[in-house]
Amino acid sequence: MTNESAHQQHDVDKAGFLLTLRQRGIGDQAVLRAMEQVARATFVPGGASAGAHADQALPIACGQTISQPYVVAYMTERLAVKPHHRVLEIGTGSGYQAAVLAKLAREVVSIERYRTLADQARERLAAGGYGNVEVIFGDGMGGCPDRAPFDRIIVTAAAEEAPPALIEQLTDDGIMIMPRGPHNGPQHIVKLTKRQTPDGVVVDEEKLIAVRFVPLLAGQAREL
Q: Which residues bind ligand SAH (CB under 6 A)?
A: 64-67, 90-91, 93-94, 96-97, 111-114, 117, 139-141, 156-157, 214, 216-218
Q: Which residue in 44, 41, 57 sits closest to 7, CA to CA? A: 41
Q: How far is the CB of 205 from ligand SAH (least distance, A)?
A: 21
φ, ψ for residue 97 (rounded to 5)?
Answer: -60, -40
Catalytic residue among 5, 67, 94, 110: 67
Would you give the DSSP letter of residue 161? S
Closer by beta carbon to ligand SAH, 62 or else 208:
62
Residue (12 or 218) nearer to ligand SAH, CB: 218
41 contacts 17 by C-beta, under 8 angstroms: no
Per residue in 185-217, is it b (16+ CB within 10 Å) or e — as a string?
eebebbbbebeeeeeeeeeeeeeeeebbbbebe
Catalytic residue flag (residue 49) = no
Q: How far is the CB of 79 from ligand SAH (least distance, A)?
A: 13
**Smaller CB separation from ligand SAH, 97 or 187:** 97
Residues marked as catalytic: 67
